[in-house]
Structure 1
Amino acid sequence: MASSALAKPQMRGLLAKHLQFHVVGALIVSLSVATFYKLAVAEPRKKAYADFYRNYDAMKDFEEMRKAGIFQSTK
């Protein structure tokens, strides 16, 4: 009598149901990680490069390195 009280397990469509749940979850997690990376890493990095090259003088930097003796072929 106790065995008739148990519900039958779902067998048809079980894999599809679980895959649908996990694919949606994976999509949400991947989009949130990508958004976090863009806002926390990529945008500040772009801003730092833009700020650096806004006032960068390559010739001044070259002259400082030459005077420091980094280059052996230039005097």
Structure 2
Amino acid sequence: MSSALLPKPQMRRLLARRMKFHLFGAFFVSLGCAALYKFGVAEPRKRAYAEFYKNYDPMKDFEAMRAAGVFESAPPK
């Protein structure tokens, strides 16, 4: 008599239903992480490199390293 009061547990397609929920959850979490990385790390890094190379003079940098004695094949002047 008490068994009629309790509902029967869902045994069929239980794994498929839970996997669908977790698959969608994992997809949206990974999409959010990718967007955070792109806008939080990659874009600021691209802007920093662009700003650095906008005023970069490689010959001036070479002469400074040459004067410091960094290169063995180019003696300091």
Report the TM-score range of the alignment, normalised by the length of the smaller protein: over 0.9
C-alpha distance after superposition, 1:16-67 (max 9, x if no partner): 1001000000001000010011110000000000000111111110000000
Misfit runs of 4+, over 3 Å: none
Report what 1:28 is aligned to. Answer: 28
What amino acid is the match of 2:65?
M
| Mean CA deviation greater in 14-23 or 1-10 | 1-10
Report what 1:2 is aligned to. Answer: 2
5+ residue gaps, structure 2, are: none
CA shift at 1:4, angstroms? 1.4
Q: How many residues align?
A: 75
Q: Distance in 1 between matches of 2:10 and 2:59?
A: 73
What amino acid is the match of 1:73?
S
Aligned-pair identity in percent equals: 61
Aligned CA RMSD, in angstroms, stands at: 0.7
TM-score by length of 1: 0.95
TM-score by length of 2: 0.93
5 Å-filtered alignment, 1:1-75, equals 1-75=1-75
5+ residue gaps, structure 1, are: none
